[in-house]
Amino acid sequence: MKNVIIIHGKPSKENYYDRDGYTSSNFGWIPWLQNQLLTRDIMPNVPKMPHAYLPEYQSWKPEFERFDVTPDTKIVAHSMGGGFIMRWLSEHKDIKLARVILVAPSLDPLRTNETGFCEFEIDPTITDRTQLVVMTSDNDSDKAVMSRDMITNALPATDVRMFSGYGHFIPEHIGKDTLEELLQIVFE
């Protein structure tokens, strides 16, 4: 694997503008995963998505596309970042990737995002072009369960990994800033 692109999720507006806080690309287990990859000579690319609290697909797309996306690339996407990469792959039917790992993906199933960020049809050929893994938890939100089901219904070949008690895979839910299980999946 040449590189891993890590796509963060959607923070609250308060967290996004908190000057004493963290950036979305440095939240939770993301810096830890970056370090784990760097110390193995794998380039981690972590785009800083603009106005992440109110995601707009057309503004996230060029930020993501700055990075090399090749058949050797692996992608890790958390929450709304998962919605982004599913839409991007659905629009780019010629792209092949080594693996896509969605961590608690959100496809905005209730359509609450006023920008239409996740208004797309999942391309049924995605699992022909990449290995798709969904990391999910038995105690995440109903919206997360709905998103997971949207993916698995459209793409039955999806490899679903269920974890107990991990919620939305954020530090407050998993009790740590690391995610060893994710690292194992990256290297499978």
Q: For the chain, how many residues are written?
A: 188
Structural domain including 123 reads 3-187
Q: What is the number of H-type helices and E-type strands within the chain? A: 8, 6
The string of pLDDT tens digits covering residues 101-122 is 999 999 998 888 778 888 999 9
In the three-class reduction of DSSP (H, G, I as helix; E, B as strand; rest coil), residue 142 is classed as helix
Given a cut of 90, whether residue 24 has pLDDT beyond it is: no
Rounded (10°) angle between helices 80-91 and 57-65:
80
The domain total for the chain is 1
The band of 21, judged by pLDDT with boundaries at 50, 70 and 90, is: confident
The string of pLDDT tens digits covering residues 146-165 is 999 999 999 999 999 999 99
Given a cut of 90, whether residue 15 has pLDDT beyond it is: no
The band of 128, judged by pLDDT with boundaries at 50, 70 and 90, is: very high
Helix-, strand-, coil-residue percentages of the chain, each rounded to 5: 35, 15, 50
Q: What is the CATH number of the domain that holds 84?
A: 3.40.50.1820
Given a cut of 70, whether residue 1 has pLDDT beyond it is: no
What is the secondary structure of 110-137 as a DSSP string? T---TT-TT-SPPPTTHHHHSEEEEEEE
The string of pLDDT tens digits covering residues 55-77 is 999 999 999 999 999 999 999 99
Tokens found for residue 130:
């990449």
